[in-house]
C-alpha cells in the first residue's frame, strides 16, 4: 500500500505525540513521532502534499533516504516533482545515498524555484554535491553564485571555491577573502596550493604554523626531509587533540618507530591518554628496557599496567621503583600500598600503608594513606580503631581534603551511636575549617538542632546555608527544610542580539544547512571565543547556539561567561541550564506522568541536550540510553526499534522517559533511588536500600552514604537542577 514505506519499520504502539500528528493537531514533535503519526494519513493514494513532504523528511531524518525517495515517487507525479520543496528533499535523499551527481543536479534545479538566502543555500548544497562527485568546475561556478545570494558568507564560500579551483592566481585571490575565523582552513588550502606547485617543504611549514603537525609531517616525509618529518610527527603525538595525536602515532609507528626511551615513552603516553591501556603497556615496557629508566618512567609503566587490569603486575613494578630510592620513592611506595587496597588484600594493604606512614610521616600522600587505613579498619568492622585513625587525620591535617572525608565518617558514626552532641561538634569543626564537606556539615548541624527541639538554631543555620549556597544542592535542601521560598528569577529579557552576532549566526545557519561541517565548526569556535566579544555579546552568541541545537557548546560558553560576569544572573543561568527541547520533553512528561522539570534536569545532566552524545560505555543520545536498554524498553512499549534511532532526539527521549517512569514505579515513586538506579543500575541500588537511612526514609542521609562519588554527585545535581529548572522556566515564565 502506498505510503507505508516510510513507517514500515516503525509500526507499533504510537505515542501520544504520534497520535496528535495523526489527528493533524500537533506542532513539531520530531521525525520519529511524525513518521508514526503520519502512517495512517499516508496510507491513502490521495495523501496531501504537506503530509507527503513531512513523511519524506521524517524518513530522511531517521536515516532512511531510500524510503524517502520511494515515498516521493509513489505519491508525486513528475510534474509536481518540479516544485522546489520536493526537489530539495529528493536531492537530499540522493546525497545521503552517495549519488552526488544526481543530488547536485536536483539541488541546482530546486534553487531555480527559490530566491535570496534559500536560493543561496540550495546552490551551495549543489556545489558541495558536485565537489564530492569530482565535478570541480561546476562546483566552483555554483559557489560563486551562492556567494552572490548570501554576501555575508562570501568569505566562507570563497574559501570553499578555493578548494576546487585549479587556477593558482584565482586561489590566491580567493584566500584573501577568507574570514579570520577560517585561518586554519585557509592554511590547508594554501598548503594544497604549495604542494601542487611542488613546494612540499613550504606546504609542511604552513600546516605546522596552525598546529596540523601530523599532516605537516606527511608532507615533509614526502619531500624527503625525514628529520623534519620525524620532529613534526612526534610533536603531533604530544598534542591534546585525540585525532591529531593518534594520527601522529600511526605515522610514527609506520615511518619512524621509536628507537629510544624518549620515543617509546612519547608513544605510550599518547596512547594511554585515550584509553588504549594494553597497547600503552607494550610501549611503556619498551621505554623501560630502552635505557636506564627513572622512577617517573617506572611509575608510568606501573600506572598503565594497572589501567590494563594487571594490578599484580603493577604491584611488582611499583616495588621495583621504590627500591630506586630518591625523592619519588615515596610516591612509588604509596602506590604500592594503594594497589593492595584495590586488590582487596586488606591485611597486606594495612601493613604496607602503615610502613609507608612510618617511613614518610610528612609526605604529601600521608593524609590519603591515613584515610585509607581508617577505611580498611571500618570495612573490617574495627570501628573504634577506624574512629581513632580518622580523629588523628582530622587533628593533624585539619584542612586537607581527606580530613573532610574523615570528619564526615566520624560524624556519621556519632549519629548512628546516638551521640548528637559529639556529631554536632564534628560537623561544626568541618564548617570552621571550611572543608569540602562544610555545606553538608552545616545542613547536618541544622538537622541535629531541629531533632533536639532547637528550631530557632535549625532555621538560622538553614537560612544561612540557603544564602551562601543559593543555587547549590545543599542550599536547595536547606530552603526546602526551612520552608523558605524558592528563588525567583526574572523572566528572560526581550532583547535583540547585536547586529554583528546576528550576522555571524546567520552565516552559521547557512554553513550548517549546506553541511559544510569544517567551516561551521571553525565559525563555532570563533563565536565561542570570549576574547572576541563583550559579555552581552557572548550571551547573545550562547542564546543563538541554544536555538540552533548547539546547547552543549552554549553551556560551556555559559560557564565562561559566569566567570567574567556572575553566575546568579538569570540570563547566565538560562544559558548554563537551557531547555531547547522544551515542547518535546513536556509532551513526554505528560505521557509518562513525569515532572517535566525533573526530566529537563536529567537530560541536562546526561547529555547537555546533545542528541549525538555518546559515552565511553556506548550510551547514546539525549538521555544516554544503552542500546540493550533501548531495545528492551521498545519491546515493552510494543514499538519496533532500530538502534540508529538512539541518535534521534524524540525517539531517545520517548524511551528515556519511559525508563525513568519505570524506575519511579519500581521504587514506589521515590525520586532518590530512581535517579540513583538510572545512573548506577538497579542491582547496586537494591544493596544500598538496605542502609538504615533508606529504611527510615531519610533520603538526605541515604544520598550522603552512597559509596560511589559519581552517583552521589549525580543525584545531588539532579535534585538541585530540578529546582533550578522550575525557578527558571516555571509557571508564569515564558518558554
Give the model confidence (pLDDT) of 220-268 as tens digits: 999 999 999 999 999 999 999 999 999 999 999 999 999 899 999 999 9
CATH architecture entry for 4-164: Alpha Horseshoe (1.25)
Regions in the chain scoring below 70 on pLDDT: 1-29, 44-45, 77-83, 731-735
Between CA 631 and CA 646 the distance in angstroms is 10
Residue 585 · residue 600 · CB < 8 Å? yes
Residue 600's pLDDT is what?
98
Best CA proximity match to 520, nearest among 181, 284, 65: 181
> What is the structure's pLDDT at 163?
94
CA terminus-to-terminus distance, the chain: 41
Measured on CA atoms in the order 345, 351, 352, 353, is the torsion positive or negative?
A: positive
Taken in order 317, 318, 319, 325, the sign of the CA dihedral is positive
CA angle 474, 622, 125 (to 5 degrees): 140
CA pair distance 590, 588, nearest whole angstrom: 5
CB 560 within 8 A of CB 553: no
* String of DSSP letters for 21-62: HHHT------HHHHHHHTTTGGGSTT--HHHHHHHHHHHHHT
| Cα distance between residue 492 and residue 733, in whole Å | 8
Instruction: Measure CA 448 to chain center.
Output: 39
Q: DSSP of 471-537, one letter per residue?
A: TSHHHHHHHHHHTPPPP--PPPP--PPPHHHHHHHHHHHHHHHTT-HHHHHHHHHHHT-GGGS-HHH
Taking domain 582-729, whether its CATH number is 3.60.21.10 is answered by no
Q: What is the pLDDT of residue 79?
A: 56
CA-CA distance, 397 to 390, in Å (whole number)?
A: 11
89 — phi, psi (to 5°)? -65, -40
Which residues fall within 8 angstroms of residue 6, CB to CB, at 6 or more apart? Answer: 35, 38, 39, 42, 55, 56, 58, 59, 64, 67, 68, 71
Q: What is d(CA 548, CA 545) in angstroms, rounded to the nearest whole number?
A: 5
Query: SS3 for 127-162, per residue?
Result: HHHHHHHCCHHHHHHHHHHHHHHCHHHHHHHHHHHH
pLDDT of residue 7: 37
| pLDDT, position 227 | 95
Give the model's pLDDT for residue 42: 78
615: exposed, middle or buried (Cβ count in 10 Å: 0-12, 13-18, 19+): exposed
Q: What CA–CA distance (Å, rounded) separates 138 from 618?
A: 41
pLDDT of residue 54: 87
* Active site (catalytic) residues: 606
Report the C-alpha gap between 675 and 667 in whole angstroms: 10
What gap in Å lies between CA 56 and CA 96, rounded to an integer?
Answer: 13
Instruction: With H, G, I as helix, E, B as strand and everything else as coil, classify residue 12.
Output: strand
- Every domain of the chain and the residues it spans: 4-164, 499-576, 582-729
Q: Tell me what pLDDT residue 8 has.
A: 38
What pLDDT is recorded for position 78? Answer: 59
Amino acid at each position: 500500500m502506498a505510503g507505508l514505506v516510510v513507517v514500515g519499520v516503525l509500526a507499533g504502539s504510537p505515542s501520544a505525540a504520534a497520535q496528535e500528528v495523526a489527528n493533524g493537531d500537533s506542532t513539531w514533535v520530531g521525525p520519529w513521532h511524525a513518521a508514526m503519526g503520519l502512517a495512517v494519513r499516508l496510507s491513502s493514494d490521495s495523501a496531501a502534499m504537506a503530509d507527503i513532504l513531512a513523511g519524506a523528511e521524517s524518513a530522511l531524518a531517521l536515516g532512511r533516504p531510500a524510503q524517502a525517495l520511494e515515498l516521493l515517487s509513489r505519491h508525486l507525479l513528475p510534474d509536481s516533482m518540479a516544485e522546489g520543496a520536493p526537489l530539495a528533499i529528493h536531492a537530499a535523499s540522493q546525497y545521503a545515498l552517495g549519488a552526488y551527481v544526481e543530488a547536485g543536479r536536483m539541488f541546482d534545479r530546486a534553487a531555480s524555484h527559490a530566491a535570496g538566502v534559500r536560493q543561496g543555500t540550495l546552490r551551495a548544497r549543489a556545489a558541495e554535491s558536485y565537489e564530492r562527485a569530482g565535478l570541480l568546475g561546476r562546483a566552483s561556478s555554483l559557489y560563486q553564485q551562492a556567494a552572490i545570494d548570501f554576501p555575508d558568507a562570501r568569505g566562507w564560500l570563497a574559501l570553499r571555491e578555493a578548494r576546487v579551483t585549479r587556477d593558482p592566481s584565482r586561489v590566491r585571490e580567493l584566500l584573501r577573502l577568507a574570514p579570520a575565523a577560517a585561518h586554519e582552513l585557509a592554511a590547508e588550502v594554501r598548503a594544497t596550493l604549495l604542494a601542487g606547485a611542488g613546494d612540499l617543504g613550504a606546504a609542511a611549514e604552513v600546516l605546522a604554523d596552525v598546529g596540523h603537525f601530523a599532516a605537516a609531517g606527511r608532507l615533509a616525509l614526502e619531500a624527503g626531509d625525514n628529520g623534519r618529518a620525524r620532529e613534526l610527527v612526534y610533536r603531533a603525538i604530544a598534542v591534546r587533540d585525540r585525532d591529531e595525536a593518534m594520527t601522529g602515532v600511526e605515522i610514527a609507528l609506520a615511518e619512524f618507530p621509536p628507537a629510544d626511551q624518549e620515543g617509546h615513552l612519547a608513544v605510550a603516553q599518547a596512547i594511554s591518554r585515550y584509553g588504549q591501556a594494553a597497547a600503552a603497556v607494550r610501549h611503556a615496557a619498551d621505554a623501560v628496557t630502552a635505557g636506564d629508566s627513572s622512577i617517573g618512567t617506572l611509575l608510568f609503566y606501573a600506572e598503565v599496567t594497572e589501567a590494563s587490569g594487571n594490578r599484580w603486575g603493577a604491584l611488582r613494578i611499583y616495588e621495583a621503583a621504590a627500591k630506586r630510592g630518591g625523592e619519588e620513592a615515596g610516591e612509588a611506595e604509596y602506590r604500592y600500598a594503594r594497589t593492595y587496597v584495590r586488590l582487596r588484600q586488606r591485611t597486606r594493604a594495612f601493613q604496607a600503608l602503615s610502613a609507608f606512614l612510618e617511613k614518610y610521616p610528612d609526605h604529601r600522600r600521608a593524609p590519603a594513606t591515613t584515610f585509607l587505613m581508617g577505611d580498611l579498619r571500618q570495612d573490617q568492622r574495627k570501628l573504634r580503631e577506624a574512629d581513632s585513625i580518622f580523629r588523628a587525620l582530622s587533628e593533624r591535617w585539619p584542612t586537607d581534603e581527606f580530613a573532610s572525608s574523615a570528619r564526615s565518617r566520624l560524624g556519621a558514626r556519632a549519629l548512628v551511636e546516638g551521640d548528637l552532641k559529639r556529631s554536632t561538634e564534628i560537623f561544626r569543626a568541618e564548617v570552621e575549617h571550611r572543608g569540602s564537606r562544610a555545606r553538608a556539615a552545616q545542613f547536618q548541624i541544622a538537622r541535629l538542632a531541629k531533632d533536639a527541639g532547637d528550631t530557632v538554631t535549625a532555621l538560622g543555620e538553614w537560612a544561612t546555608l540557603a544564602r551562601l549556597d543559593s543555587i547549590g544542592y545543599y542550599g536547595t535542601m536547606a530552603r526546602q527544610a526551612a520552608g523558605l521560598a524558592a528563588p525567583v528569577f526574572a523572566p528572560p529579557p526581550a532583547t535583540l542580539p547585536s547586529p554583528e552576532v546576528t550576522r555571524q549566526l546567520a552565516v552559521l545557519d547557512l554553513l550548517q544547512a549546506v553541511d559544510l561541517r569544517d567551516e561551521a565548526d571553525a565559525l563555532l569556535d570563533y563565536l565561542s571565543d570570549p576574547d572576541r566579544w563583550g559579555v552581552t555579546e557572548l550571551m547573545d552568541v550562547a542564546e543563538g547556539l541554544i536555538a540552533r541545537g548547539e546547547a552543549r557548546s552554549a553551556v560551556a560558553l555559559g560557564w565562561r561567561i559566569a566567570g567574567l560576569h556572575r553566575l546568579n544572573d538569570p540570563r547566565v543561568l538560562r544559558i548554563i541550564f537551557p531547555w531547547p527541547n522544551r515542547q518535546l520533553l513536556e509532551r513526554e512528561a505528560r505521557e509518562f506522568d513525569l515532572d517535566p522539570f525533573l526530566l529537563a534536569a536529567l537530560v541536562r545532566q546526561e547529555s547537555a541536550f546533545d542528541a549525538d552524545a555518546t559515552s565511553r560505555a556506548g550510551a547514546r543520545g539525549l538521555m544516554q540510553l544503552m542500546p540493550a536498554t533501548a531495545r528492551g524498553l521498545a519491546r515493552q512499549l510494543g514499538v519496533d526499534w532500530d538502534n540508529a534511532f538512539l541518535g534521534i532526539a524524540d525517539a531517545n527521549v520517548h524511551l528515556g522517559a519511559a525508563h525513568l517512569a519505570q524506575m519511579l514505579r519500581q521504587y514506589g515513586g521515590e525520586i532518590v533511588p530512581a535517579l540513583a538506579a538510572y545512573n548506577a543500575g538497579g542491582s547496586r541500588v537494591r544493596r544500598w536500600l538496605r542502609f538504615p537511612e533508606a529504611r527510615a526514609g531519610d533520603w538526605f542521609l541515604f544520598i550522603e552514604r552512597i559509596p560511589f562519588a559519581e552517583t552521589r554527585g549525580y543525584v545531588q545535581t539532579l535534585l538541585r537542577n530540578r529546582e533550578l529548572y522550575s525557578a527558571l522556566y516555571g509557571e508564569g515564565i515564558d518558554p
